[in-house]
Structure 1
Amino acid sequence: MAFLELDGLTKSYGALTVVKGVNLAVEKGKLVCLLGPSGCGKTTTLRLIAGFVPANGGEIRVGGKVVSSAASTVPPEGRNMSMIFQSYALWPHMTVFENVAYGLRLRKRPAAEIKNRVDTILAATQLTKLAERYPGELSGGQQQRVSLARALVIKPEILLLDEPLSNLDANLREEMRFEIRRLHDEFRYTTVYVTHDQVEAMTTADVIVVMNDGRIEQAGSPEDIYERPETEFVARFIGGTNILSGARLDDRTVSAEGGLVLACSSGTVGAAGATTAVSVRHHDIKLSQTRPDVDTNVASGTVTRQIYLGSHRDYLVALKGGATVRTVAPVHVAIPVGGEVWLRFPPEHCRALAQ
Structure 2
Amino acid sequence: MAFVELIGLTKQFGSLTVVKEVDLAIEKGHLVCLLGPSGCGKTTTLRLVAGFIEPSGGEIRVGGKRLSSVEASAPPEARNMSMIFQSYALWPHMTVFENVAYGLRLRKLARPEIRARVEEILAATRLLALAERYPAELSGGQQQRVSLARALVIKPETLLLDEPLSNLDANLREEMRFEIRRLHDEYRYTTVYVTHDQAEAMTTADTIVVMNQGVIEQAGSPEDIYQRPRSEFVARFIGGTNIFRGRHAGNDAVTCAGGLVLRCGSGDFADGVETAVSIRHHDILLSAGRPTGAETNCIAGTVTRQIYLGSHRDYLVSIPGGETVRTVAPVNFAIPAGQQVWLHFPPEYCRALAH
TM-score range, shorter chain: over 0.9
Q: Show the counterpart of 1:339.
A: 339
Shift of 1:222: 0.3
Shift of 1:292: 0.4
Indicate whether 1:278 and 2:271 are aligned: no
Q: Give the unaligned 5+ runs of structure 1.
A: none
Determine the C-alpha separation between the residues in 1 that align with 2:309 and 2:64.
Answer: 51
Shift of 1:331: 0.8
Shift of 1:251: 2.7
Determine the C-alpha separation between the residues in 1 that align with 2:297 and 2:256.
Answer: 10
Aligned residues: 354
Q: Show the counterpart of 2:160.
A: 160
Deviations 1:285-328 (A, max 9, x none): 00011110111000110111111111111101000232110000
Determine the C-alpha separation between the residues in 1 that align with 2:185 and 2:223.
Answer: 19
Runs of 4+ in 1 over 6 A off after TM superposition: none
Cα RMSD for the two superposed structures: 0.6
Determine the C-alpha separation between the residues in 2 that align with 1:233 and 1:195.
Answer: 17
Shift of 1:131: 0.2
Kept in 2, the 8 Å contact 1:275–1:354? The answer is no
Kept in 2, the 8 Å contact 1:61–1:68? The answer is yes
Deviations 1:60-85 (A, max 9, x none): 00000000001101000000000000
Indicate whether 1:326 and 2:326 are aligned: yes
Kept in 2, the 8 Å contact 1:40–1:212? The answer is yes
Kept in 2, the 8 Å contact 1:253–1:269? The answer is no
Shift of 1:269: 1.9
Q: How does 1:188-267 map to 2 (within 5 A)?
A: 188-267=188-267
Q: Show the counterpart of 1:296.
A: 296
Letter aligned with residue 68 of structure 1:
S
Q: Show the counterpart of 1:173.
A: 173
Determine the C-alpha separation between the residues in 1 that align with 2:135 and 2:267.
Answer: 50
Aligned to 1:38, the other structure's residue is in SS state coil
Q: Show the counterpart of 1:80.
A: 80
Indicate whether 1:119 and 2:114 are aligned: no
Letter aligned with residue 327 of structure 1:
T
Letter aligned with residue 96 of structure 2:
V
Determine the C-alpha separation between the residues in 2 that align with 1:308 and 1:144.
Answer: 35
Determine the C-alpha separation between the residues in 2 that align with 1:258 and 1:232.
Answer: 21
Q: Give the unaligned 5+ runs of structure 2.
A: none
Kept in 1, the 8 Å contact 2:257–2:320? The answer is no
Indicate whether 1:287 and 2:286 are aligned: yes
Report % sequence identity.
76
Determine the C-alpha separation between the residues in 2 that align with 1:351 and 1:214.
Answer: 25
Q: Show the counterpart of 1:95.
A: 95
Shift of 1:9: 0.2
Kept in 2, the 8 Å contact 1:101–1:118? The answer is yes
Question: Normalization by structure 2: what TM-score?
Answer: 0.99
